[in-house]
Amino acid sequence: MTGGPFDILFEPVRIGPVTARNRFYQVPHCSGMGHRYPEADFALREMKAEGGWAVVSTQETEIHESADLTPSNQGRLWADGDLDRFRGLTERIHAHGSLAAIQLAHGGLHAANRLTRIAPYAPSHALVDADDPIQARAMDREDIRAFRRWHRDAAVRARQAGFDIIYVYAGHDMTLLQHFLLARHNHRSDEYGGSFENRLRLFREVIDDTREAIGDRCALAVRLAVDELMGPDGLRHDHEGQDIVAALAEVPDLWDVNLSDWSNDSQTSRFSQEGYQEAYVRFVKPLTTRPVVGVGRFTSPDTMVRMVRQGVLDLIGAARPSIADPFLPNKIRDGQLDSLRECIGCNICVSGDNLATPMRCTQNPTLGEEARRGWHPERIPPLARAEPVLIVGGGPAGLEAAHALVRRGAPVVLADAAAEWGGRVAREARLPGLAAWGRVRDHRLQALRVAPQAELYLQSRLTSADVLAYGIGKVVLATGARWRTDGVGRAHRSPLPFLATGRTVSVDDLLDAPALALAGEVVVFDDDRYYMAGVLAERLAAAGASVTYVTPAPLVAAWTVNTLEQARIHRRLVEVGVRLVLSARLADRGPDSLTLACVHTGRTQTIPCDTLVPVTARLPVDGLWHDLSAQREAWADHGLSSVERIGDSLAPGTLAAAVHAGHAFARSL
């Protein structure tokens, strides 16, 4: 497409000695695969190059055995023996006309060296920032010389492996170079500490070392966190963040600028909007003639164009949007905006790295399966025999199954009992901060509505007799799940009879009636430990209820540590006046009270409770499955060959799991 409103995004950009073919830049991001699953990681990166990203970067890549981030699955370039593996990556990226970038990293006090057992390095004596009960040692001058040598050697290896852009990385409060820059970590009194110039010294030296090591074939990029959102206690974009850029303005070939720490840089859509980093990075371009790349969970081509035209960025950086849709650049180029899979900002991808497992994506069910299963996000093999399929349930699993089956050429009948499409997505997207989650429904529904072989029926509650009467051979049940009200979860594995005393309102009651207000004292009991209890407590408090949040876990919304939201959820609940009771399980209940027991000591306390909202576990809605199973002998007479359950109707889980289940079913036929 030429002469269109987005043409500026497809202009080439010179980065030192190399040229990016367009302005789409996949910035360094983890994958949860790294050195343990390199083939999976490389297939994921290659998919980005095929999809039109002009620059495709690795995740942070450890430069030395003293930068050991075990158990995290990052890249490793410790020795020459790692070269062949990375050559395979750069060749695959180059085959699609893209540039390959590598982010060299030493974690400093962030690297606990759990595998290598080397005493961690830091500017000054300090506890490591993991939970390990060990300290990092203050580096002496010989240690500093050794670190410079390790970084230089890694840069040489990166050049030999065929990388076009090589990073010097000082960001996310996870790198030794940033630790030297920050006064709270650097307490030195020699030439590497104290004044701003002294704290900048090692950064300058490593940049110079890297330039010398890579020569004039590779570009040198600096990745810098310009603000930590800590006020005067941290780096600020209008103070030393600006001073660093001004001091080194023309030194690198590229500035990659963002926020620190990672939870600030990769904020979820619940707490930030597209382009949220603009106010912090806008100062960079006026200080340098070098190209600037930044991020902000960009999904709108209009926003991308504005960033370039207004001189905020030269290159549109992305991690999560490139995960949700590796083919985003090509789709914009070809005018296929209706087919964009927009990132919903849920950070289920981030949880993969935090759990040291291959990442997943709610919007892109093929993520992580490119190598293992040979799944491609844009290509799916046509069916040899395009037999019709009946799908009961139009939530995330059913919509994805229908969407993928239509792409395979199958006629699909999709029926849902509700008055709107989306199932749990439609209901949850109405909760505070979760509107972007509606994209899971919208992307699939938009494609199905224009597919001639898709029949869509709302307000169609099917019985087993209805299913048999259809005479369709393959039936898929994606009927979802409902939240339990009997207390069963992690802390209580059996139903709690005493909950029958007093009023209980289920999660589904609140989701089905968004305007439902609860009076008096409301207790939200969170044994799910993900987002639901926190967001419901927030909503109820905003509606005027007096809310107490109780959980057996030691943290509010404990699992959201993995999605980088936990601290923000805790803070939000405090801000809206929710009382917090941690490490407590349910012990007894009266008509207007609830007795809690400490999970550690068993000591009890009684709190007011007019209404209990248990957010514990869910049960599959599988009545139709059981009815059909009881009539299995009649299947053949009605032309029915198979009935399968997918998604929450089989085993309740995350939205990502439901979408993946729908896609996996469609691929399995």
Run of H or E including 151: helix 141-160
pLDDT at 1: 47
CATH number 3.10.310.10 is the correct assignment for the domain at 486-618: no
- Residue showing tokens 């209820």: 545
Segment 310-358, tens digit of pLDDT: 999 999 999 999 999 999 999 999 999 999 999 999 999 999 999 999 9
Beta-sheet pairing, 135-138 with 121-122 = parallel
Instruction: Write down the catalytic residue from 25, 37, 121, 169.
Output: 169
Instruction: Write down the catalytic residue from 106, 172, 492, 660.
Output: 172
Q: Whole-angstrom distance between the N-terminal and C-terminal Cα of the chain?
A: 36
Of all residues in the chain, what percent carry a pLDDT higher than 70?
Answer: 100
Domain boundary assignment for the chain: 7-354, 389-480+621-668, 486-618
- Across all residues in the chain, what is the average pLDDT? 96
| d(C-alpha 359, C-alpha 369), whole Å | 10
Enumerate residues 6+ apart whose C-beta is below 8 A from 657.
360, 647
pLDDT at 362: 98
Evaluate if residue 114 carries a pLDDT over 60: yes
Burial of 478 (0-12, 13-18, 19+ CB in 10 A): buried
Q: Which two tokens stand for residue 73?
A: 């699955």
pLDDT at 600: 97
Q: 330 phi and psi, to 5 degrees?
A: -65, -35
Segment 162-190, tens digit of pLDDT: 999 999 999 999 999 999 999 999 999 99
389-480+621-668, CATH topology level: Rossmann fold (3.40.50)
pLDDT at 130: 87
> Residue 30 catalytic?
yes
pLDDT at 204: 98
Instruction: Write down the catalytic residue from 41, 265, 353, 526.
Output: 265
pLDDT at 3: 66
Evaluate if residue 553 carries a pLDDT over 60: yes
Segment 436-462, tens digit of pLDDT: 999 999 999 999 999 999 999 999 999
Beta-sheet pairing, 604-608 with 593-598 = antiparallel
pLDDT at 515: 80
Evaluate if residue 279 carries a pLDDT over 70: yes
Of all residues in the chain, what percent carry a pLDDT higher than 90?
Answer: 98
CA 201 to chain centre: 35
> Residue 218 catalytic?
no
Among candidate residues 180, 67, 171, the one with its CA nearest the CA of residue 124:
180
pLDDT at 2: 53
**Confidence class for position 401, pLDDT limits 50, 70, 90:** very high
CATH number 3.40.50.720 is the correct assignment for the domain at 7-354: no
Instruction: Write down the catalytic residue from 25, 29, 30, 209.
Output: 30
